[in-house]
Amino acid sequence: MWVLGLSVVTVLVIYVFHLIYKLKNPKFSSTSSLPPGSMGLPFIGETIQFMIPSYSLDQHTFFKKRIQRFGPIFRTSLFGQPIVISVDPEFNSYLVQQEGKLVKLFLGPLSKVFVPDGDHHVYTSDYIHKYFRNVTLSHVGSECIREKLLPQLEEMSKEALHMWSTQASIEVYEYSSDMLFHIFAKHYFGYDAEKLPKTGRIAEQLFTTLSKVFMTIPLNIPGTTYHKCLEEAKKAFTIMKNIMEKRKSSPESYRGDLLDQVMNDMKTEKILTDDQNVYLVLGVWFATCLAIASLLTLIFKFLSEYPSVIEELRVEHEEIIKGRDKSSSSLTWGEYKSMKFTQQVINEALRFTILIPGLLRTTIKDIQVKEYTIPAGWTILLATQTLHMNSKIYKDPLTFNPQRWKDLDSYAISKNFKPFGGGLRQCPGAELTRATMATFLHVLVTQYRWTKIRGGNVVRNPMLGFGDGIHIKLWKKNT
């Protein structure tokens, strides 16, 4: 009898939870006009299936199975949130142009990591976004790269690769993230980790912990990865807030960096508070390093597997050196812009490297798509990952083939290639990512050789990562 009683109680509890959920989300109760799909269990939804890892460069099995069953636009429930997932390129392109009209930014698991006191307005406001995007572009856009950053990126690459070559072996993601955090911490807010004691350095702990926020269930319970991410974010906030306070008390410490610019703007425009500025600068710093470190790791994987690509890169970059008046000269903007094959390599790596499954948006009002209605307040995931694996656009999509980019037309690329998002919220760091990668590859293929020791097995859950990293041995050319 106790088994029967327990079963009845269990059913009643589930029913009550489901009823509460329906009352809180009234449009959830009517599914007749929603896109097809399954909402899974109450509260849990299909989160467990979503988080199950797959071990392929292909799109995650969660998406693949549901696209085959329901089509390119389907509904589900993830992390207690009703959500519509779209892999329809036309609909996705349309939505990214409707920022502030039909949809607004949704931060997902990052909402409590880089949002001060739950004030999502700092990221979702179109006005604030436009302001901060313009400010960021002044520090990472083409002009800044050409006039200031390019020689710094080359010097960073030389120093890092020299240090790597002195090690018995290095894990690419760990070492590259450390390299990137150092240079961009200096560039964005003047934080020089090398001048601090080892216990005072935040790059290693912060990056390795926060980068896991995309691959964990957002439960703020002590002991969980998500809770650790929140704690590390607080540490980073405290460090940068201290830097800001010191600059306020010492105007002579002005550096002209991103932090200085937003602090100066505060004096006249009062767009953001101190805390909001700190979180926004932290977010830019973190996104820059995470994107480039992930891309660099994947490129090492592919170059280790495709030696012919390395040789073609060497030819291109050695021709650049031969064309200089002095072989010791630094890389110029014109040389960077001439790297056609290098950009094809970067494009092909970007096609595989998706840091999140796609672009997250919240509907402002009901949206009609085909014969379906997506209710206001729902989340939409524009799944760019699946677009990049479309065999109709990319022949043999699981094959790393930089040459394919010579034949793709601009229209197909604009609809089916979204590594930096799209529309008004396209990532301002797109050119910086390309310039950093191209500069690093320039130094790598002309001055060094390497071999992969172990690792390189990919894991999607559903973001792309590596099981045990990629370990390489690097040595100086002709030594």
Asked whether residue 144 is marked as a ligand-binding residue, the answer is no
Cα–Cα separations (whole angstroms), residue 462 to 36, 150, 216, 441, 465 = 21, 34, 10, 28, 9
101 contacts 95 by C-beta, under 8 angstroms: no
Handedness of CA 334, 335, 339, 342 (dihedral sign): negative
Compute the distance between CA of residue 60 and CA of residue 49 in angstroms, rounded to an integer: 10
Residues 162/163/167/172 CA torsion (nearest 10 deg): -90
Residue 448: beta bridge partners? 476
What is the b/e burial string over 440-460, where b = at least 16 CB atoms within 10 angstroms of the residue's CB?
A: bbbbbbbbbebebeebbebbb
Cα radius of gyration rounded to whole Å, the chain: 24
Q: Map residue 78 onto helix, strand or coil.
A: strand
- Greatest CA separation found in the chain? 91
**Residue 92 buriedness (CB in 10 A; 0-12 / 13-18 / 19+):** buried
Determine the angle formed by the axes of helices 274-305 and 340-352, rounding to 10 degrees.
110
Closest CA to 355 of 418, 423, 415, 398: 418
Compute the distance between CA of residue 298 and CA of residue 303 in angstroms, rounded to an integer: 9
Closest CA to 111 of 17, 186, 220: 220
Compute the distance between CA of residue 84 and CA of residue 374 in angstroms, rounded to an integer: 7
423 contacts 96 by C-beta, under 8 angstroms: yes
Closest CA to 340 of 409, 410, 416, 434: 434
Strand runs labelled E in 417-463: 448-455, 458-460
62 contacts 34 by C-beta, under 8 angstroms: no
Handedness of CA 392, 395, 400, 406 (dihedral sign): negative
Please enumerate, by residue number, every residue annotated as part of a binding site for heme: 427
Please enumerate, by residue number, every residue annotated as part of a binding site: 427
